[in-house]
């Protein structure tokens, strides 16, 4: 008998997948307030997991030249420059001149730039119009300038600004649409509650790629299979920390038991609010959200979509019973229509 | 944004994004899959027509229906395997049966339908066999086997024609997911239209009366069940605008032309063929239009972010009340 919340709602995924007496659910808490954008996580992940090179072009949109999570980038450090205060007691660059770095036109051009990541769909180009008004502020700074802020514009043209950095990764959802729709059983739930692709089973049907509400999973062009973060399943099995968390120099990426991480994250948000960072909020921590909570969740300093995350993702299979009902109704209509058509007059 | 349950306008496109990049990965399915939506529907419609003709004593139409089913399902199998990243591993689909995966369900529907449709079609070759000997025996037992196989294929055909609606809807692709109440009906109607079209072109004129009624029913199912495609808010846009919108509109126009011509073409072989061609073309345009609309909606972050923002705003206002 499937669990009442088998498709939607709070659930402990490993026992639901059939594990008897599994270890605690493990996950990531990525605290973006201490991320310095060093990309050690991206590199460590590639090293440990043997992930292929993913293109070395400059994307022209920021210091982020990875662009997105792909089959060949299982960690992706997003980098956003915004014309607003960093939120701390002393505004950034107080007393120093700074000014607009680059025009919305350049940002729009950046949105049209892509690189061959060796994957499909890989790094899709974006909407230039959306890029041009990317941030929540009235003006967009675009790519960080090539010269010190304000040079040439003087103190009058000064604006405040801040940098947001965030290491994105597969969310290892409680209700993982990729796993639900996989027709070969290649994607499976581990005893740690994570979601892993079995590369010897995957036949590259691509269904998981359309099903993921976060745009994480992707297909390698040369071998045709789907690939994504395994939360270092091989390291977890022997009690080691995943490569990205191990390499993170600021403990922005924290690995551990999910329950404990959720407590730690709540305490961190409370502390940031206390210290005058009211925009700090958690993302993906809530077991009552549309995917039953993420195994990898985040502390963000702006709306999720600013980082390229969906603001309110819902696992598509929540509606699957309703979908099958509609299909059943349509099938019956079709059969009846045929019967009626043939029972009519002969000529 | 809502008043009296009606969406007033398309919401403003002012939303935040990460350098305008899409949130989702657009489907990696190639046009193989759009083609399969057509050929799979054609096969299902063909099997239903074959069975209807069989039960009402129309041997010419029965043969056309059965061959349409076999041709459609053979093309479908080729397209589905060809689309895989690893075609040589297609049989990995057969290692599990998962009701949460419409593709797995579809695999098993096809696995049942394909051989049945094949047997029914091949049984039509019986009259070509010699009267005597072992082959003569085959000639005598083929028709009853074909009858059973044809009816069994028709029994699975409605599932084959409609599960593809769930296949597309059970994704994060905004315009496909939001269309889940409509897609199975659009595809059911489109399947019947395509198969009726082939019948109008190929079957003996004296046996096509049911096809003219069926084409009318197909249009009613497709347009009646599918009219909500244009009324699902922002994610309707790809069904009405751009290349995908033009394809969907062309599909509807061709459907109207095909049905109208079918109804007046009773005495003209040429008009029947024209109406049949219009019906087949309508199905092709609809399938490619729906397929393309999904890809468009996944590529633009607007279709992901704006509806989710609205949903959040509604939730917040509901908790405040």
A323 touches B at CB < 8 Å: yes
| Residue B73 forms part of a structural domain | yes
Residue A337 is nearest to which of B192, B266, B302, comparing CB atoms? B192
| Residue B15 forms part of a structural domain | no
Comparing alpha-carbon positions, the chain B residue that sits nearest to A114 is B21
Are the beta carbons of A183 and B104 separated by less than 8 Å? Answer: yes
Burial string for A123-152 (b: 16+ CB within 10 Å, else e) reads: bbbbbbebbbbbbbbeebbbbebeeebbee
Shortest distance between the Cα of A118 and any Cα of chain B, in A, equals: 14
- A-interface mutation test, from B15, B19, B221, B293, most A Cβ less than 10 A away: B19
pLDDT reported for residue A61: 76
| Residue B5 forms part of a structural domain | no
Q: How far apart are CA A160 and CA A129, in angstroms?
A: 23
Shortest distance between the Cα of B107 and any Cα of chain A, in A, equals: 8
Residue A68 is nearest to which of B15, B21, B161, comparing CB atoms? B21
Q: At B39, which CATH number? A: 1.20.1630.10
| Residue B11 forms part of a structural domain | no
A134 touches B at CB < 8 Å: yes
| Residue B12 forms part of a structural domain | no
pLDDT reported for residue A128: 84
| Residue B13 forms part of a structural domain | no
Burial string for A85-98 (b: 16+ CB within 10 Å, else e) reads: ebbeeeebbeeebb
Nearest to A27 by CA among A313, A217, A292: A292
Give chain A positions within 8 Å (CB) of B84: 203-205, 224
Residue B221 is nearest to which of A186, A213, A333, comparing CB atoms? A333
Comparing alpha-carbon positions, the chain B residue that sits nearest to A69 is B25
Are the beta carbons of A61 and B225 separated by less than 8 Å? Answer: no
Residue B170 is nearest to which of A128, A317, A328, comparing CB atoms? A317
Q: Bridge partners of B90?
A: none
| Residue B9 forms part of a structural domain | no
Give chain A positions within 8 Å (CB) of B181: 322, 326
| Residue B199 forms part of a structural domain | yes
Are the beta carbons of B19 and A324 separated by less than 8 Å? Answer: no
A301 touches B at CB < 8 Å: no
- Over residues B136-151, the mean pLDDT reads 95
Are the beta carbons of B17 and A305 separated by less than 8 Å? Answer: yes
pLDDT tens-place values along chain A, 347 residues long: 688 899 999 999 999 999 999 999 999 999 999 999 999 999 999 999 999 998 888 887 778 999 999 999 999 999 987 766 665 445 545 555 444 444 567 677 778 888 889 999 999 888 888 887 764 344 444 455 555 555 555 555 555 678 899 999 999 999 999 999 999 999 999 999 999 999 999 999 999 999 999 999 999 999 999 999 999 999 999 999 999 999 999 999 999 999 999 999 999 999 999 998 999 999 999 999 999 999 999 999 999 999 999 999 999 999 999 999 999 999 999 999 999 999 977 76
Owning domain of residue B280: 23-320
pLDDT reported for residue B266: 87
Shortest distance between the Cα of B171 and any Cα of chain A, in A, equals: 4
pLDDT > 90 in chain A, percent: 71
CB within 8 Å of chain B, chain A residues 69-88: 78, 80
Give chain B positions within 8 Å (CB) of A128: 20
- Domain count of the fold of chain B: 1
Are the beta carbons of B308 and A313 separated by less than 8 Å? Answer: yes
Range name among A83-87, B97-101, B166-170, B314-318 with the lowest pLDDT average: A83-87
pLDDT reported for residue A89: 45
Are the beta carbons of A177 and B172 separated by less than 8 Å? Answer: yes
Residue A218 is nearest to which of B25, B173, B266, comparing CB atoms? B25
Domains plus CATH for chain A?
A: 13-343 (3.30.70.20)
Shortest distance between the Cα of A239 and any Cα of chain B, in A, equals: 31
How do strand A26-31 and strand A296-300 relate by DSSP bridges?
Answer: parallel
Are the beta carbons of B100 and A207 separated by less than 8 Å? Answer: no
Shortest distance between the Cα of A199 and any Cα of chain B, in A, equals: 11
A7 touches B at CB < 8 Å: yes
Q: Using alpha carbons, list the distances in angstroms from residue B74 to A191, A206, B198, B287.
A: 41, 21, 16, 18
């Amino acid at each position: 008998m499937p669990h009442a919340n088998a498709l939607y709602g709070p659930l402990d995924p490993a026992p639901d997948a059939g594990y008897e007496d599994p270890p605690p659910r493990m996950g990531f808490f990525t605290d973006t307030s201490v991320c310095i954008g060093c990309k050690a996580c991206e590199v460590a992940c590639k090293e440990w997991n043997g992930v292929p090179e993913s293109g070395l072009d400059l994307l022209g949109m920021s210091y982020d030249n990875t662009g997105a999570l792909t089959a060949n980038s299982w960690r992706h450090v997003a980098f956003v420059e915004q014309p607003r205060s960093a939120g701390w007691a002393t505004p950034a660059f107080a007393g120093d001149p700074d000014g607009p770095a680059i025009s919305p036109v350049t940002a729009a051009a950046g949105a049209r730039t892509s690189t061959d990541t060796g994957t499909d769909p890989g790094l899709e180009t974006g909407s230039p119009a959306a890029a041009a008004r990317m941030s929540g502020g009235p003006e967009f700074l675009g790519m960080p300038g090539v010269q010190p802020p304000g040079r040439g514009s003087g103190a009058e043209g000064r604006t405040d600004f801040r940098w947001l950095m965030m290491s994105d990764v597969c969310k290892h959802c409680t209700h993982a649409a990729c796993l639900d729709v996989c027709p070969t059983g290649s994607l499976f739930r581990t005893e740690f509650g994570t979601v892993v692709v079995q590369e010897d089973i995957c036949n590259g049907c691509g269904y998981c790629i359309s099903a993921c509400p976060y745009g994480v999973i992707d297909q390698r062009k040369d071998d045709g299979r789907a690939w994504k973060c395994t939360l270092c399943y091989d390291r977890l099995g022997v009690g080691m920390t995943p490569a990205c968390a191990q390499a993170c120099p600021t403990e922005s990426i924290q690995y551990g038991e999910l329950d404990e991480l959720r407590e730690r994250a709540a305490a961190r948000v409370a502390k940031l609010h206390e210290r005058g960072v009211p925009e700090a909020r958690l993302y993906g921590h809530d077991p009552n959200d549309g995917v039953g909570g993420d195994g990898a969740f985040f502390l963000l300093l702006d709306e999720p979509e600013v980082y390229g995350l969906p603001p309110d993702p819902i696992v598509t299979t929540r509606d699957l019973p309703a979908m099958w009902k509609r299909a059943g109704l349509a099938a019956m209509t079709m059969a009846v229509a045929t019967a009626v058509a043939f029972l009519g007059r002969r000529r | 944004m809502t008043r009296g349950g009606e969406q007033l306008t398309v919401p403003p496109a002012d939303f935040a994004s990460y350098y305008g990049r899409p949130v989702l990965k657009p489907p990696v399915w190639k046009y193989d899959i759009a083609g399969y939506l057509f050929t799979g529907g054609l096969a299902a419609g063909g099997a239903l027509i074959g069975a209807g003709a069989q039960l009402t004593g129309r041997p010419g139409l029965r043969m056309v229906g059965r061959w349409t089913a076999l041709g459609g399902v053979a093309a479908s199998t080729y397209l589905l395997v060809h689309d895989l990243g690893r075609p040589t591993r297609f049989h990995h689909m057969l290692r599990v049966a998962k009701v949460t995966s419409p593709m797995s369900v579809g695999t098993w529907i096809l696995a049942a339908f394909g051989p049945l449709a094949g047997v029914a079609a091949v049984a039509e070759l019986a009259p070509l066999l010699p009267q005597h000997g072992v082959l003569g025996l085959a000639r005598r037992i083929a028709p009853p086997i074909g009858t059973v196989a044809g009816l069994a294929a028709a029994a699975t055909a409605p599932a084959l024609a409609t599960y593809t609606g769930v296949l597309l809807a059970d994704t994060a692709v905004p315009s496909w997911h939001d269309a889940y109440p409509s897609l199975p009906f659009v595809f059911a109607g489109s399947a019947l239209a395509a198969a009726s079209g082939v019948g109008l072109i190929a079957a003996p004129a004296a046996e096509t009366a049911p096809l003219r009624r069926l084409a009318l029913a197909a249009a009613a199912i497709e347009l009646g069940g599918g009219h909500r495609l244009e009324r699902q808010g922002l994610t309707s846009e790809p069904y009405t605008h751009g290349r995908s919108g033009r394809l969907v509109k062309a599909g509807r126009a061709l459907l109207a032309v095909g049905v109208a011509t079918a109804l007046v073409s009773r005495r003209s072989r040429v008009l029947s063929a024209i109406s049949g061609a219009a019906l087949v073309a309508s199905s092709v345009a609809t399938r490619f239009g729906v397929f393309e609309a999904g890809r468009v909606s996944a590529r633009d972050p607007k279709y992901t972010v704006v509806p989710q923002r609205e949903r959040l705003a509604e939730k917040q206002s509901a908790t405040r009340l």
